Amino acid sequence: MISDEKINRINELAKKKKEQGLTDAEQEEQKALRQEYLETFRGGMKKHIEGMKVVDPEGKDVTPEKLKKIQKKKGLHNRK
């Protein structure tokens, strides 16, 4: 998880960019912080999706086979 301090810094840099522009060093910092944020977000989303179970209106498990294979490989296939 990315820290609140880093999120605040991302927002500060975005605001400064709109108001007056960024120095080269600040642009590099912004790029690095955004990359870290995206990696963290994508990792969390992937973990969330890999833990899902899809159920139809009748209660039947219709989780895609590809996802079931990933869950089985990770030891998540017996989750309820």
Q: Which segments of the chain are extended strands (E)? A: none
Is the confidence at residue 77, as pLDDT, over 70? no
Structure tokens that stand for 63 in this block: 């989780």
Cα–Cα distance between 17 and 23 in angstroms, integer? 9
45-59 pLDDT, tens digit each: 999 999 999 999 999
Q: What percent of the chain stands above pLDDT 90?
A: 85
Mean pLDDT score across all residues of the chain? 93
Beta partners for residue 38, in sequence order: none
Tell me the backbone φ, ψ of residue 75, rounded to 5 degrees: 75, 25
- In the chain the domains, ranked by start, together with CATH numbers, are 4-73 (1.10.287.540)
